[in-house]
Amino acid sequence: MNTITDTNFNFPNQKSVYKGKVREVYNINNDLLVMVATDRLSAFDVVMPKGIPYKGQILNQIATKMMKATEDLVPNWLLATPDPNVAVGHLCAPFKVEMVIRGYLSGHAAREYKAGKRMLCGVAMPEGMKENDKFPNPIITPATKAEMGDHDEDISREDILKRGIVSEADYLVLEDYTRKLFQRGSEIAASRGLILVDTKYEFGKTKEGKIVLIDEIHTPDSSRYFYADGYQERQDRWEAQKQLSKEFVRQWLIANNFQGLKGQTVPEMTDDYITTVSDRYIELYENITGETFVKADVSNIQSRIEQNVLGYLKA
C-alpha cells in the first residue's frame, strides 16, 4: 500500500518545517506555506502506526473545495493546490485555539453529557437531551491547540481572554467567522442530503494583520456528518445515527480498548482493516462533495509532490 506518512523535502528558500499530527508545513522565505496532507491517521490525539491510502488527497481536496465555497464569507489563506496532497498559501501566525462548534449533542459533548456534565467550555447544555439531539442553537466550545503527542484541552471563552491567548477584539471575529462558516457548511451539507453535526475551524493572522481561515475545513477529520434521511426516525427509536466522519475509527479503537490513555496500546491495524478505512474515506469524499473520487498516481508519491511543488514555486 503506497502511502505518504513522512516527508523531508528541502525546497528553495525553505526556512523551517512544522510537523503536525497529519499535515507537514514548509515555510518558504517567511512568505508562503506549503502544506502537505499526509496519509497519517490521528485519533484521540494519537497518530496511528500505519497510513491510510489516499487519505491525504481526500482531506486536501475536500478542504480546497470548501474554502472556495466559503471565501465570499470568510477570507482564507489558500493560494493554490499544485498537487493532490498539497495546498500553498500565505504565511500566517496561527491562533493557539481551535474553534469547535456543535449543532448536535454528539461525540465528545455526548460523552461529557453522559458523565453528568451540563457545562462544556463554559457553555450550558440543556437538561433532558439524548445523544445526537439537536441543540436549540449551535454552541461554540473552543479547545487549546496541542503539540503532537499532547491532547487538545477544552477551554472557555472567559479563560481564553483571561489568559491572553486571544485578544477580545480578535476573539469576537473568530466567533463571528465560526458561526458564518458553520451556517454555510450546514447549507452545503443539506444540499448533499447530510447534516453537519459539529466541526472545528482554525484561524491565523497574515503579516498584514488580517484574520483568515487556515488548515482544513469541513473534512471528515475535522467534522462529523449524519445522513439526513431517517435522522429523526433513528432518534425517535433511540438508534445510533448513520454518520460520515472518522468516528468509526474511534469506535473501533474504543472496542479494542484504546482511547489514547496512559498505558494503552494501539491495536494492530491489519491490511484488510486499513483498506476498509480507505474505502470509507473515499465514501466520505463522494458524499460530502457530490463528486466521484479520482485516485492520484501513488507509484512514487514523494517524487510527485516534490516535482509539483518545485514547478509551482519556480512559476
For residues 239 and 230, give the distance between their C-alpha atoms in angstroms, rounded to a whole number: 11
| Structure confidence at residue 293 (pLDDT) | 98
**For the chain, where are the alpha helices, taking DSSP H only?**
55-70, 107-114, 157-162, 168-191, 231-236, 247-255, 271-289, 301-314
The answer on pLDDT for 168 being more than 80 is yes
pLDDT band at 289 (very low <50, low <70, confident <90, very high): very high
Q: What is the tens place of the pLDDT at every residue in 176-219?
A: 999 999 999 999 999 999 999 999 999 999 999 999 999 899 99
Q: How far is CA 99 from CA 27, 37, 175, 297, in A?
A: 24, 21, 8, 35
The answer on pLDDT for 171 being more than 60 is yes
Write down the mean pLDDT value for the chain: 94
> Is the pTM above the cut of 0.75?
yes
| Structure confidence at residue 44 (pLDDT) | 85
% residues pLDDT > 90 (the chain): 84
The answer on pLDDT for 97 being more than 80 is yes
Please list the residues that pair with 37 across neighbouring strands.
23
For residues 34 and 255, give the distance between their C-alpha atoms in angstroms, rounded to a whole number: 37
pLDDT band at 76 (very low <50, low <70, confident <90, very high): very high
Q: How far is CA 25 from CA 11, 53, 87, 305, in A?
A: 12, 20, 10, 13
pLDDT band at 147 (very low <50, low <70, confident <90, very high): low
Three-state DSSP class for residue 186: helix
For residues 138 and 99, give the distance between their C-alpha atoms in angstroms, rounded to a whole number: 12
| Structure confidence at residue 284 (pLDDT) | 87
| Structure confidence at residue 151 (pLDDT) | 60
| Structure confidence at residue 152 (pLDDT) | 73
Please list the residues that pair with 93 across neighbouring strands.
205
Segment 252-278 mean pLDDT: 91
Segment 103-118 mean pLDDT: 96
Q: What is the tens place of the pLDDT at every residue in 20-71?
A: 889 999 999 999 999 999 999 988 888 898 999 999 999 999 999 999 999 9
| Structure confidence at residue 146 (pLDDT) | 61
For residues 36 and 269, give the distance between their C-alpha atoms in angstroms, rounded to a whole number: 24
Which has the higher per-residue pLDDT, 153 or 185? 185
For residues 53 and 274, give the distance between their C-alpha atoms in angstroms, rounded to a whole number: 8
For residues 217 and 261, give the distance between their C-alpha atoms in angstroms, rounded to a whole number: 27
CB 101 within 8 A of CB 121: no
The answer on pLDDT for 148 being more than 60 is no
* Cα–Cα–Cα angle for 249, 81, 96, rounded to 5 degrees: 60
| Structure confidence at residue 45 (pLDDT) | 81
The four Cα atoms 158, 161, 165, 171 give a dihedral, to 10 degrees, of 100
% residues pLDDT > 70 (the chain): 98
| Structure confidence at residue 121 (pLDDT) | 96
pLDDT band at 163 (very low <50, low <70, confident <90, very high): very high
